[in-house]
Amino acid sequence: MDRAAAVYTLGSIAGAISFLAGLSAAADPSIPAESLAACPPFPEIPFERQPAYLPSNTLALTFDDGPDLVNTPKVLDVLARESVPATFFINAESWTSLRRNEAARDIVRRIVEDGHILANHTARHMRISRLSPERIEEEIAGVEIVVREILGSEAPRLTLFRAPFGDPYTGNRWGPTFRKVAPIVARHAVHVGWSITPTERACPSGAGLCVAASAQRQLDRGYYGVVLLHSTQAETAAGLAALIAEARRRGMRFVSVEDVVRARYQRSSAELVDDPLCTGATRVCPGRR
Ligand SMILES: [Zn+2]
């Protein structure tokens, strides 16, 4: 590299560092600037078909939405029969009202009693990228508050989060929308994307084998990692046992999303959220400080 090119490259790196550091007025001066440049600023499980930090026979089942009173219990029955761990990203006021519906509150209790992870999918399932910062905070805190109401002092912390529609995490990382949403989410939880998305809603209602076949096609392509499903869908409840059986036939192992977070960051989601260095946009990767 000639001298002019070297100067240009150094200038670009310095520019990138100052851009990243400038994302937060509260940037901690004790964090080396190169850490900010080298690491994604917010811990998350990204949308990758083949995440390099996991063995290729790993699957983590996740169920968004709900709970609903018909299909979510059926999903829980299958998971119990098959001894498979899962993570439920629930809403507070979408499919059912967790404030008023005692049967729905019982399902939340059962998710925890059955050993699954309870996670946050916002109170009302709106596109949070279109909301003000105050409303985004309300959407996230709304689920935390109702879960504490239901489970009392036994309530788990909801340190895993998935934005409805993956929005804005599937889009431009450095646009104003992401920069509005991500710091608010990061104060509560690690955002969880997905690797495999069986096409539930394209399947006829209740057509379980259609969901299982869709998952199978993605396994055929070599995809692994986090599987996005919906516990409110009749076809998902109907096809879940077949999906699990097919995955096991291929030697796949089921783990929790917390296992996936640990594989990527060597720390739990709660530890990442609590890290004093991980505030706002000054979040840095563990081990790279
Ligand atoms: Zn959803």
* Residue with tokens 């699957």, as numbered in its chain: 59
pLDDT at 157: 97
| pLDDT tens digits in sequence order for the chain, 289 residues long | 333 333 333 333 433 333 343 333 334 444 444 444 334 468 899 999 999 999 999 999 999 999 999 999 999 999 999 999 999 999 999 989 999 999 999 999 999 999 999 999 999 999 999 999 999 999 999 999 999 999 999 899 999 999 999 999 998 877 889 989 999 999 999 999 999 998 876 777 767 788 888 899 999 999 999 999 999 999 999 999 999 999 999 999 999 999 999 999 999 999 999 886 654 544 444 443 3
Report the candidate in 35, 23, 41, 56 with the shortest Cα–Cα distance to residue 223: 56
Residues 232 and 108 in one domain: yes
CA of 91 to the centre of ligand 1 (A): 8
CA of 90 to the centre of ligand 1 (A): 8
Is residue 223 included in any domain, yes or no? yes
Residues 153 and 11 in one domain: no
CA of 275 to the centre of ligand 1 (A): 28
pLDDT at 289: 36
Structure tokens at 132: 């003000």
CA of 195 to the centre of ligand 1 (A): 16
Distance between CA atoms of residues 277 and 287, nearest Å: 12
pLDDT at 41: 67
Structure tokens at 243: 């999906």
Is residue 33 included in any domain, yes or no? yes
Is residue 287 included in any domain, yes or no? no
Residues 25 and 60 in one domain: no
CA 9, 11, 13, 18: dihedral to nearest 10 degrees?
A: -170
Is residue 289 included in any domain, yes or no? no
Is residue 243 included in any domain, yes or no? yes
Residues 121 and 33 in one domain: no
Structure tokens at 262: 């640990």
**Using only C-alpha atoms, what is the Rg of the chain?**
20
pTM as predicted: 0.83
Residues 75 and 168 in one domain: yes
Using one digit for the tens of pLDDT, what is the confidence trace for 27-62? 444 444 444 433 446 889 999 999 999 999 999 999
Report the candidate in 161, 158, 156, 118 with the shortest Cα–Cα distance to residue 136: 161
pLDDT at 35: 46
Burial of 249 (0-12, 13-18, 19+ CB in 10 A): exposed
Is residue 184 included in any domain, yes or no? yes
CA of 150 to the centre of ligand 1 (A): 21
Residues 18 and 48 in one domain: no
CA of 280 to the centre of ligand 1 (A): 25
CA of 243 to the centre of ligand 1 (A): 20
Distance between CA atoms of residues 31 and 34, nearest Å: 8
CA of 186 to the centre of ligand 1 (A): 19
Residues 133 and 214 in one domain: yes
CA of 120 to the centre of ligand 1 (A): 10
Residues 24 and 139 in one domain: no
> What's the structural domain count of the chain?
2
Q: Around ion ligand 1, which residues have CB less than 5 A away?
A: 64-65, 164
Residues 29 and 54 in one domain: no
CA of 163 to the centre of ligand 1 (A): 8
Residues 95 and 21 in one domain: no
Distance between CA atoms of residues 163 and 11, nearest Å: 36
Is residue 288 included in any domain, yes or no? no
CA of 276 to the centre of ligand 1 (A): 30
Residues 22 and 122 in one domain: no
CA of 169 to the centre of ligand 1 (A): 14
CATH code where residue 186 lies:
3.20.20.370
Tell me which residue range forms the domain holding 27.
1-38
Is residue 144 included in any domain, yes or no? yes
CA of 36 to the centre of ligand 1 (A): 31
CA of 233 to the centre of ligand 1 (A): 11
Residues 58 and 149 in one domain: yes
